[in-house]
């Protein structure tokens, strides 16, 4: 339950922050939320401590890159001026780095909660 709750809280916080900071249409926020859910929530179920991102890099990387691909494809449909694979190094490289950082934060929070619950 801890991993699910922490992953959901981080996802909801990031989505709420992007919605609050942007005046984009709802369909763009929906694309961002769906892609972030795929890229961060599923691999978060394998992460219990920060270094699990490195230890379980392959399954985490598959979902992160799948989320980046979903974002790239759906945002090309949702945003009229955006093409598929437009800015691919930034989308995939930057997206991978940011989501891997979120997974590291997730691992640190879950580790801290589990350590407190053992006492």
36-52: pLDDT as tens digits: 999 999 999 988 888 88
What range defines the domain where residue 106 resides?
A: 2-118
The two counts, helices (H) then strands (E), for the chain are: 7, 0
What's the predicted TM-score (pTM) here?
0.82
- Rounded to the nearest integer, the mean pLDDT of the chain is 86
pLDDT tens for each residue of 84-114: 667 677 778 888 898 999 999 999 999 999 8
pLDDT at 11: 92
pLDDT tens, residue by residue, 6-31: 999 999 999 999 999 988 888 889 98
- Count of domains for the chain: 1
Q: At what angle do helices 95-118 and 57-78 cross, to 10 degrees?
A: 130
């Amino acid at each position: 339950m801890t991993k699910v709750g922490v992953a959901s809280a981080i996802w909801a916080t990031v989505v709420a922050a992007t919605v609050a900071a942007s005046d984009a249409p709802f369909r763009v926020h929906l694309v961002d939320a769906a892609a972030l859910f795929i890229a961060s929530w599923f691999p978060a179920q394998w992460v219990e401590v920060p270094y699990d991102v490195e230890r379980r890099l392959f399954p985490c990387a598959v979902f992160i890159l799948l989320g980046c691909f979903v974002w790239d494809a759906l945002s090309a449909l949702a945003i009229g001026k955006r093409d598929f694979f437009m800015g691919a190094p930034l989308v995939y490289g930057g997206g991978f780095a940011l989501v891997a950082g979120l997974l590291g934060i997730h691992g640190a929070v879950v580790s801290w909660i589990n350590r407190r619950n053992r006492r």
